[in-house]
């Protein structure tokens, strides 16, 4: 069993910022990350030789390199435990990690915990979204960043928010511009009637510069940007996908593509996290899993979490305030939510809601009488699959609300989360190393 002062789960900007600050205060830190490298959602490392051919934002790169330098400087106070998946908390308070490199489950008994497991992409269920060839925008971006290559064949990018814009521009720069970028919202029209949101977006500094650079790339590559436009159906063809879309005037258009990337926003990933508490073992959430505020704010939030932990452990710590940068990130996110607001389409009965178990909306309707999140989970098996509700809980919540059953998405996971939160092999459990 490991007994560090602090266990930090998640090696993205928030977790790394928290870990290096805590190590800098003289505390011993175990940083557990499920992947084989640090970086989180945004800093996916290129796995090829030499420099990545995918252009990265200079501003983000500089901040990330500064954090990596501090990881080096932390020396023995900071232990990196890569390829280690947080599984949950045992009844007696041990934190369980699936050490995939060693092939065994290990336990940790820290004095405090920082959970920094990031966000999760939201994708609204559409008929056919479970088909091969459909991915999330983030998933395709990760593939592009890690391999340095855009997927082959025609691509369509659709959904809502700034991330599809970034992906479309990066695909174009990598030599395979998408056929079109379809945005469900109407950000330019909304900006005219919501000038406050437009003003907050325009004064955001680096994020605005980043968006303009993406827009320039799309314009140079002649990628059509269609607003007020959404995907209504996806069908498999002998080769590839047929994607039907409709615009605000009700006109349909069909695209034949090899790949479709979908994205409708980011949500905090709070599925199964131990609750935040100051009493007993202090647990602090940081970064996107606490509140989705973007990469720069995740660093500030991680640093804030380090201060909270140090205070709870009675350690002296610098009293820096992170309120101003977090507040400014919150303003930007609120502006983006307003500018990109879009109508949410109804889920048709044949639409798959839970992709892990292939459960359709019609199956949900057959659950008449299920009056609680618990019944919907146990009887209907929603949120019972490999994702444990990270992807389907929000859609299940919307369907339940139509039948008058109200609950929060995380309620589907139960009031006391049970481990394992992620699939774990029986061999790893059998090799549970608790020495």
Q: Which of 20, 117, 370, 412 binds ligand FAD (CB under 6 A)?
A: 117
Contact between 4 and ligand FAD by CB under 6 A: the answer reads: no
Question: Which residue, among 234, 215, 230, 121, has the nearest Cα to 184 in the 3D structure?
Answer: 230
Q: Which two tokens stand for residue 10?
A: 């998640």
Exposure of 374 in the CB half-sphere (CA atoms within 13 A): 4
Give the binding range for ligand FAD (CB under 6 A) out of 137-145, 334-342, 375-383, 407-415: 137-145
Q: How far apart are CA 412 and CA 374, in angstroms?
A: 6
* Residue 15 in the binding site for ligand FAD (CB under 6 A): yes
Query: Least CB distance from residue 418 to ligand FAD, whole Å?
Result: 14
228 binds ligand FAD (CB under 6 A): no
User: Would you count residue 161 as binding ligand FAD (CB under 6 A)?
Assistant: no
Minimum CB distance to ligand FAD smaller for 10 or for 187: 10
User: Binding ligand FAD by CB under 6 A: which of 4, 5, 10, 29?
Assistant: 10
| Dist CA 349 CA 340 (whole Å) | 27
**Is residue 32 at the binding interface for ligand FAD, with CB under 6 A as the rule?**
yes
Which listed range, 7-15, 221-229, 330-338, 398-406, lies at the site for ligand FAD (CB under 6 A)?
A: 7-15
Tokens of 146: 């890690």
Nearest to ligand FAD of 41, 359 (CB atom): 41
Closest approach of ligand FAD to the CB of residue 253, in Å: 27
Q: Choose between 81 and 351: whose C-beta lies nearer to ligand FAD.
A: 81
Residue 274 makes contact with ligand FAD by CB under 6 A:
no
Closer to ligand FAD at the Cβ: 147 or 232? Answer: 147
Give the residue, chosen from 33, 183, 264, 411, that forms a contact with ligand FAD under the rule CB under 6 A: 33
Closest to ligand FAD by CB, 41 or 197? 41
CB of 236 to ligand FAD, least distance (A): 26
Q: Which is nearer to ligand FAD, 181 or 359 (CB)?
A: 181
Cβ distance to ligand FAD smaller for residue 117 or 155: 117
Residues 288-317 vs ligand FAD: string with x where CB under 6 A? x-----xx--x-------------------
Q: How near is the Cβ of 76 to ligand FAD at its closest, in Å?
A: 22
Give the binding range for ligand FAD (CB under 6 A) out of 26-34, 227-235, 238-246, 394-402.
26-34
Beta bridge partners of 336: none
- Specify the residue, 40 or 228, whose C-beta has the smaller distance to ligand FAD: 40
The label of the residue with tokens 């609750």 reads: 275
Q: Shortest Cβ distance from residue 9 to ligand FAD (Å)? A: 5
Stretch that binds ligand FAD, among 11-19, 183-191, 235-243, 356-364 (CB under 6 A): 11-19
Q: Which of 127, 287, 385, 409 binds ligand FAD (CB under 6 A)?
A: 287
Interface of this chain with ligand FAD, residues 83 to 102, rule: CB under 6 A: 85-86
CB of 366 to ligand FAD, least distance (A): 32
Which residue from 67, 89, 108, 163 is in contact with ligand FAD, where contact means CB under 6 A?
Answer: 163
Backbone angles phi and psi of 239, in degrees to 5: -130, 115
Stretch that binds ligand FAD, among 12-20, 215-223, 250-258, 383-391 (CB under 6 A): 12-20
**What residues have CB less than 8 Å from 61, skipping those under 6 apart?**
none
Which one of residues 6, 7, 9, 305 is an interface residue with ligand FAD (CB under 6 A)? 9
C-alpha 340, offset from chain centre:
18
What residues form DSSP beta bridges with 259? 155
- What Å distances lie between residue 9 and 12, 32, 97, 307, CA to CA? 9, 5, 10, 16
Q: Which residues bind ligand FAD (CB under 6 A)?
A: 9-15, 32-35, 40-42, 85-86, 116-119, 121, 138, 141-142, 163, 166, 287-288, 294-295, 298, 422
């Amino acid at each position: 069993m490991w007994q560090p002062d602090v266990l930090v789960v998640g090696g993205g900007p928030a977790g790394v910022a928290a870990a290096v600050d805590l190590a800098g205060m003289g505390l011993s830190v175990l940083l557990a990350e499920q992947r084989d490298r640090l970086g989180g959602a945004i800093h996916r490392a290129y796995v090829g030789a030499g420099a990545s051919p995918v252009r990265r934002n200079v501003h983000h790169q500089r901040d990330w390199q500064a954090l990596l330098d501090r990881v080096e400087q932390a020396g023995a106070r900071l232990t990196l435990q890569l390829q280690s998946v947080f599984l949950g908390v045992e009844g007696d308070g041990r934190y369980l990690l699936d050490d995939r490199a060693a092939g065994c489950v290990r336990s940790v008994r820290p004095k405090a915990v920082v959970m920094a497991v990031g966000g999760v992409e939201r994708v609204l269920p559409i008929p056919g979204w479970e088909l091969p060839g459909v991915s999330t925008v983030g998933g395709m971006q990760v593939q592009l960043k890690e391999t340095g290559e855009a997927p082959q064949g025609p691509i369509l990018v659709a959904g809502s928010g700034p991330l599809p814009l970034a992906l479309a521009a990066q695909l174009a720069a990598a030599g395979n511009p998408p056929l079109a970028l379809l945005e469900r919202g109407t950000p330019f029209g909304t900006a005219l009637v919501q000038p406050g949101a437009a003003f907050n977006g325009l004064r955001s500094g680096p994020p605005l510069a980043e968006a303009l650079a993406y827009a320039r790339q799309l314009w140079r590559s002649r990628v059509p940007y269609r607003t007020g436009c959404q995907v209504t159906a996806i069908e498999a063809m002998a080769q590839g996908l047929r994607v039907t879309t409709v615009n605000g005037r009700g006109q349909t258009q069909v695209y034949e593509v090899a790949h479709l990337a979908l994205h409708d926003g980011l949500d905090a990933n709070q599925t199964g996290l131990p609750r935040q508490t100051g009493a007993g073992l202090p647990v602090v959430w940081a970064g996107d899993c606490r509140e989705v505020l973007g990469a720069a704010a995740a660093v500030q939030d991680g640093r804030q979490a380090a201060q909270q932990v140090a205070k709870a452990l009675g350690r002296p710590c610098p009293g820096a305030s992170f309120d101003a940068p977090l507040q400014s990130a919150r303003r930007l996110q609120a502006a983006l939510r307003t500018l990109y607001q879009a109508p949410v389409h109804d889920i048709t009965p044949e639409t798959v809601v839970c992709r892990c178990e292939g459960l359709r909306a019609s199956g949900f309707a057959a659950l008449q009488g299920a009056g609680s999140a618990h019944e919907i989970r146990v009887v209907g098996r929603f949120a019972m699959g490999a994702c444990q509700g990270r992807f389907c809980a929000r859609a299940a919540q919307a369907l339940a609300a139509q039948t008058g059953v109200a609950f929060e998405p995380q309620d589907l996971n139960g009031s006391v989360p049970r481990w394992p939160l992620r699939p774990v092999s029986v061999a790893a459990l059998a090799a549970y190393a608790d020495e």
